[in-house]
Structure 1
Amino acid sequence: MSTEAVIAFTLVIVGYLSGAVPWGIVLGKVVQGVDLRSHGSGSTGATNALRVLGWRVSAAVFLLDFFKGMLPVVLGRVLGVDWWWIGIAGVTAVVGHCWSPFIKFRGGKGMATGGGAVVAMFPWLVLIGLLTAAVTLLTRYVSLASILTAIGGVLIVLLAAWIGDLPWQAVLATLTISSIIVFKHHENIRRLLNGTERRFGERAA
């Protein structure tokens, strides 16, 4: 096996394992002695942390989840790895977050980790965060903001790829990550449709 292949394979493993670290559970137990899996929606991500643990812990969870998505992509770009492997590493970080082997293949919904991976591929997409903030402020539904941001982000990338010259592997990775995020929100979509979804700021027991 060539050195380049070893580096690429290692990058994918790093992506999966870094993504699999359940920071929501780690901080919940360390700071408040709470296991997020047993409270609120049961998700280990920042939104459930906000409802159960408050905004300070939620912000820390978001940042850690965001950076674990960025890590393999940034490493791959610095090392000059082919975009194909960079895209796979970004996707595996999200897969690790959503289905972590450390917590019986449970996890979060991938928004922060996916956002980190995609922004590391396309830094200008950080502006899509304005859409997240706007929808959250207007509707107070974080889940709706996450879903619309995931869909909007991939549409913008597809448009940019059509107009300009973007690496198709990164575009495909963005589409895959967005699809995972929307899929992981299927229960939220059901609750949004029947009017039972919790709004921003509502704490869970």
Structure 2
Amino acid sequence: MKIAILIVLAYLLGSIPSGIWIGKIFFKKDIRNFGSGNSGTTNTFRVLGKTAGLIVFAMDLLKGTLATCLPIIFHLDVNPLWFGLIAVIGHTLPIFAGFKGGKAVATSAGMLLGYSPLFFFYSLVFFLIVLYLSSMVSVASIFSAIFVTLSSIVLPYLWPTILPTHNWLLTLICFLLTCYIIYRHKENIQRIKTGTENRVSFGLNKKEK
């Protein structure tokens, strides 16, 4: 019974539409009507500015982290990754926003933070490097997802300090999320091919102000 309640709680946590709520409460805007139409962090930065974007990123990240930590907090002998995955599902199919959510990147990162902080920061460094080189969040998100999946397999053998043991569930979830992230970025991929993808004001190819 406790597991069932926490599963629902993990989904509800993931379903919190941070970008939509921040936009409506503080800016009187529904960010789904602006920019890319997405309710996630990147579009929040673009439409509402840096401060709102950072707040939404933190909220989307931490809801994945908190959900992943639920079985630890309540002393359940269950792999915490299941709860992190449910939060990601809630983020992408939120009951509070008509089941139309974000692209899963920030909440998936939050799941990693809750599961293994060292693995999270290791992955974050890679994300920032790719973002610096490309100045495109979409490119950094896609390549980081692939990198995390591969790292979940090889790190226990090459760098066990970061990830001591191989967890088949971690690899499976990372693989499934990578496929989903690539799918959700299909329009971005098309814009990358045509050279029209949005760039951020950071890195070697940053957007000129």
TM-score range, shorter chain: 0.7 to 0.9
Structure 1 equivalent of residue 183 of structure 2? 183
Q: Distance in 2 between matches of 1:181 and 1:71?
A: 21
Q: Of Structure 1 and Structure 2, which has the larger fraction of its residues in helix?
A: 1
- Retained in 1: the 8 A contact 2:70–2:83? no
Tell me which amino acid in the other structure corresponds to 1:98: T
Structure 1 equivalent of residue 192 of structure 2? 192
Unaligned runs of 5+ in 1: 1-5
User: Is it true that 1:87 corresponds to 2:81 in the alignment?
Assistant: yes
Unaligned runs of 5+ in 2: 159-163, 202-206
Structure 1 equivalent of residue 109 of structure 2? 115
CA displacement 1:155-178 (0-9 Å, x = unmatched) = 111113566523323332333333
Q: Distance in 2 between matches of 1:11 and 1:179?
A: 26
Tell me which amino acid in the other structure corresponds to 2:117: P
Runs of 4+ in structure 1 off by over 6 angstroms are none
Q: Distance in 1 between matches of 2:138 and 2:17?
A: 20
User: Is it true that 1:50 corresponds to 2:45 in the alignment?
Assistant: yes
User: Is it true that 1:29 corresponds to 2:24 in the alignment?
Assistant: yes
Structure 2 equivalent of residue 3 of structure 1? none
Q: Distance in 2 between matches of 1:177 and 1:162?
A: 23
Instruction: For residue 33 of structure 1, give the secondary structure of its aligned residue in structure 2.
Output: coil
Q: Distance in 2 between matches of 1:192 and 1:128?
A: 23
1:164-175 residue pairs with structure 2 within 5 A?
Answer: 165-175=165-175
CA displacement 1:139-197 (0-9 Å, x = unmatched) = 11011011111111111111135665233233323333333222222221122122221
Q: Distance in 2 between matches of 1:123 and 1:166?
A: 16
Question: Which TM-score applies when normalising by structure 2?
Answer: 0.86
- Retained in 1: the 8 A contact 2:68–2:82? no
Higher relative contact order (CA 8 A, sep 6+): 1
Tell me which amino acid in the other structure corresponds to 2:154: L
Alignment root-mean-square deviation, CA: 2.0
User: Is it true that 1:99 corresponds to 2:90 in the alignment?
Assistant: no
Tell me which amino acid in the other structure corresponds to 2:199: R
Q: C-alpha displacement at 1:131, in angstroms? A: 1.6
User: Is it true that 1:134 corresponds to 2:129 in the alignment?
Assistant: yes
CA displacement 1:16-70 (0-9 Å, x = unmatched) = 1111110101111122111111011111111001111111000000000000001
Percent identical across equivalent pairs? 33
